[in-house]
Structure 1
Amino acid sequence: MMGTEAKHIGIVGAGIVGVSTAIWLQRAGHRVTLIDRLGPGEGTSYGNGGVLASCSIVPVTVPGLLKKAPRMLFDPNQPLFLKWSYLPKLAPWLVKYLSHANADDVKRIASAVHGIVGDSLADHQALSAGTGAERFLVPSDYVFVYNDRAHFEGDAFGWGIRRAHGFSWDELEGRAFSEYDPTLAPALGFGVRLGNHGVIKDPGGYVKALAAHAEMNGARLIKADVTGFVREGGKVTGVRTGGETLSFDDTVIATGVWSKPLAETFGLKVPLESERGYHIELWEPNMMPRSPAMIASGKFVITPMEGRIRLAGVVEFGGLDAPASRPPFDLLMRNIRAAMPGLSWKDKTEWMGHRPAPADSIPVIGKVPNAPGAWMGFGHHHIGLTGGPKTGYLLSQMISGQQSNLDLAPYAPMRFQ
């Protein structure tokens, strides 16, 4: 290892960010302990859409959202839901979130997000190489599906931002598109095909395989809730779980939306909300889409996976405690029947989970202000799987005292002070 001493690092959270951080730290010569209340890959990392969506750099808060959002909330066919009883608690975050719905902020956010997800396929290939997890990783196209060219041109602002960041694509129209993917409805007549993306065929299995590799290389895995941190002379020297106190040289907080209360123990108030995400899996389908497809009219993704198709992409605001709602599942089912009318399947499973959404749509990556020894990596909205490996790599570099060639200021937890 280059000029840095080996440390023992505690990582709170064993989703894609925590496990990626563990593997990169091990490769840099450090010893790691992973602590998670459920075990690896059981939370949000399990339930995401499974696409390595490098091009997903445009935040939800595009210009015009303020006008559209109220209409969307009252239309059961729109992919935005709100538990109204939660609105008073959500309001302070929501005001901050919506304040970014302007062109300048969107460009700034897209630039920061691109730094984390822009090379996702290569980042995942580098992370998973030789771990046994690489069997879940499939390079693929990613297709945005529109009704027609006019529908596509309505999204010109977002596509302009992607072009500015070096993304290129093929536009497939009419017959050319139906020949590319005949499983999709004839009414969907226009496709934007981006190469150099990827699919994780089983996201939960992938994170578990990565964690097993880390364990095989000496990582300790503890199933526990972290209840607090140990500080000596201002430095964070360990964590408390229900049963024991664990000592570490450095500690990483990577528990997604559950990172907010942990950050507050250091006096850091991160404006973070749960963007409640839903997925449905249709098992043993009679057909598979050629590649993952984002259906623009319903803002949902159809992903071909191992033995099933996964549908994902609804946003609901309602906090961490309320049970799943029926309408988002019903909407996903209406959407898939319209998009793939010939589809049938043997079995159906449903899931709801919590995506960590900072009010400025930029992940939180870096050292905790006023708490030496503590680090953070969370807040990737719906692209945590996509950006997990790069986030883990950056944290490993920082903890090892190495310089990054990426400007890390946009991600710094310090920005919330």
Structure 2
Amino acid sequence: MEEPRKTVAVIGAGIVGVSTAIWCLRDGHDVILIDRRGPAEGASHGNGGVLASNGIIPVSVPGLLRNVPGLLLGRDQPLFLKWQYLPRLLPWLTRFLGHANASDVRRRAAAMARIVGDSLAEHQALAKDTGAEKWICPADYVFLYRDRAHFESDSLGWRIRAEHGYTWEELEDTALREYDPAFGPSIGFGVRCPDHGRISDPGRYVEDLARHAETRGARLLIGEVTDVVHENGQVTGLRVDGETVRCDSDVLAAGALSGPLARKLGVKGTMESERGYHLELWEPTIMPRSPVMIAAAKFVATPMEGRLRLAGIVEFGGLDAPPSRAPFRLLERQIRKAMPGIAWKETVEWMGHRPSVADSTPLIGPVPGVAGALMAFGHDHVGLTGGPRTGRLVSQLISGRQPNLELTPYSPARYASARRPT
């Protein structure tokens, strides 16, 4: 049975929140979209721009624990830590590393395949008739390795992808150069994954989607949400900059900033910020044919409007510390190694925060004990990829329709405290 028209307040105007707003509008609801800075001001601006439909393998894979010292101490490794943050990080990190086993990797992959597997089609459906379609570019997604042995060291991930029906073409030496001559001798093996996509300007894409939502009647508020108001177990509003904004339902989709409100709703210990970096090379002399993952350094190089964006890195240091310099230097060294001779006119640097859940699976669905409260955050490296599908699922739940997939793996209940929020 479908629910009557509601006033839905969406907290967070990144890709997940904006997708939720658009699908709720299409389902006939009134929408208030709230963000402390405005649309696409966080990770939705700075992400790698890849619609990574096969991005189902988590960071926490078998062997991660024994590799951590080398990853932290190696000059050319993509993991960084602000050591003063370690005591605060340790409880979450212990839980995160506890999932670095094959069975949990398979569990997470199965859950994520249902969220990201049709990403290109989901983005096209979301953006239809919004004016944002122009930013969506169907493309291959290519993983680049030093050689076949390096590729085979990732065999668990590729076996799991095959189990979920993903296909690819292996390109070695001459075949790789024929496909894309942009890369130098340090890259000897490639995996071409068809039927993926890229967003040629992620920030402007989400801004255009948000603008469309406003033209359809959504109300955009710039402000800080400090609490969820609920009476007799039912959401009645939000506290925004000291005032109450009335609503029948709210969706917490604030990415890495979702933690404080989640805790107030009784969902605790869920998330940590993975600080990510990008370096944009404007007017580069070499541009790859399609977005690529440089596997040795764990970053993507994505062609965008007028520039090549290098995005990746994992740094743990919390939400407040300033950017580090070493990740930018690493990205520049690695692209010069992968694409010898590349030059560019200027660079633009960015650092932002990915929402990383300890079990690497986003929280999507109702909050236990608070009718009308839902969560939609924690997509770590695939927020752009999974945003449209997540927004559609949340709108279906708000509208009283049963989604066509089992939502238990994503349920916020797995992190809910026994004591209900008051």
State the TM-score, normalized to the length of structure 1: 0.98
SS at match of 1:405: coil
Q: Please say if 1:227 is aligned against 2:237.
A: no
Offset at 1:257?
1.2
Distance in 2 (alpha carbons) for counterparts of 1:270 and 1:216: 38
Offset at 1:187?
2.7
Q: Alpha-carbon deviations, 1:302-349, whole Å to 9, x = none?
A: 000011000011000010111000111110010010011121111100
Q: Please say if 1:132 is aligned against 2:138.
A: no
Q: Which residue of 1 aligns with 2:43?
A: 44
Q: Which residue of 1 aligns with 2:98?
A: 99
Q: Alpha-carbon deviations, 1:98-122, whole Å to 9, x = none?
A: 0001111110011111111111111
Q: Which residue of 2 aligns with 1:332?
A: 331
SS at match of 2:170: strand
SS at match of 2:376: strand
Contact between 1:263 and 1:270, CA under 8 Å: does it hold in 2?
A: no
Q: Please say if 1:317 is aligned against 2:320.
A: no
Q: Which residue of 2 aligns with 1:154?
A: 153
Distance in 1 (alpha carbons) for counterparts of 2:367 and 2:233: 12
Distance in 1 (alpha carbons) for counterparts of 2:42 and 2:79: 22
Contact between 1:116 and 1:387, CA under 8 Å: does it hold in 2?
A: yes
Which moves more between the two structures, 202-211 or 67-76? 67-76
SS at match of 2:380: coil
- Runs (4+) off by over 2 Å: none
Q: Alpha-carbon deviations, 1:9-53, whole Å to 9, x = none?
A: 000100000000000011111110100011001111101000000
Offset at 1:85?
0.4
Contact between 2:115 and 2:386, CA under 8 Å: does it hold in 1?
A: yes
Query: Structure 1: which amino acid aligns with 2:15?
Result: I
Contact between 1:140 and 1:199, CA under 8 Å: does it hold in 2?
A: yes
Stretches of structure 2 lacking an aligned partner (at least 5 in a row): 417-422
Q: Please say if 1:80 is aligned against 2:52.
A: no
SS at match of 1:49: coil
Distance in 2 (alpha carbons) for counterparts of 1:266 and 1:202: 35
Q: Which residue of 2 aligns with 1:174?
A: 173
Q: Please say if 1:362 is aligned against 2:392.
A: no
Offset at 1:270?
3.7
Query: Structure 2: which amino acid aligns with 1:382?
Result: H
Q: Which residue of 2 aligns with 1:410?
A: 409
Distance in 2 (alpha carbons) for counterparts of 1:312 and 1:266: 33
Q: How many residues align?
A: 416
Q: Which residue of 2 aligns with 1:264?
A: 263
Query: Structure 1: which amino acid aligns with 2:176?
Result: F
Stretches of structure 1 lacking an aligned partner (at least 5 in a row): none
Offset at 1:267?
2.1
SS at match of 1:282: strand
Q: Which residue of 1 aligns with 2:275?
A: 276
Offset at 1:271?
2.0
Q: Which residue of 1 aligns with 2:420?
A: none
SS at match of 2:381: coil
Offset at 1:285?
1.1
Q: Alpha-carbon deviations, 1:77-115, whole Å to 9, x = none?
A: 100000000000000000000000111111001111111
State the TM-score, normalized to the length of structure 2: 0.97
Q: Which residue of 2 aligns with 1:206?
A: 205
Contact between 1:293 and 1:301, CA under 8 Å: does it hold in 2?
A: yes
Q: Which residue of 2 aligns with 1:8?
A: 7
Q: Which residue of 1 aligns with 2:290?
A: 291
Query: Structure 1: which amino acid aligns with 2:21?
Result: A
Offset at 1:243?
4.7
Q: Alpha-carbon deviations, 1:172-215, whole Å to 9, x = none?
A: 11111011111111331111000000000000000000000100
Q: Alpha-carbon deviations, 1:362-398, whole Å to 9, x = none?
A: 0000011111111100000011000000000000000
Contact between 2:363 and 2:378, CA under 8 Å: does it hold in 1?
A: yes
Offset at 1:66?
1.1
Query: Structure 2: which amino acid aligns with 1:94?
Result: L
Distance in 1 (alpha carbons) for counterparts of 2:391 and 2:113: 15
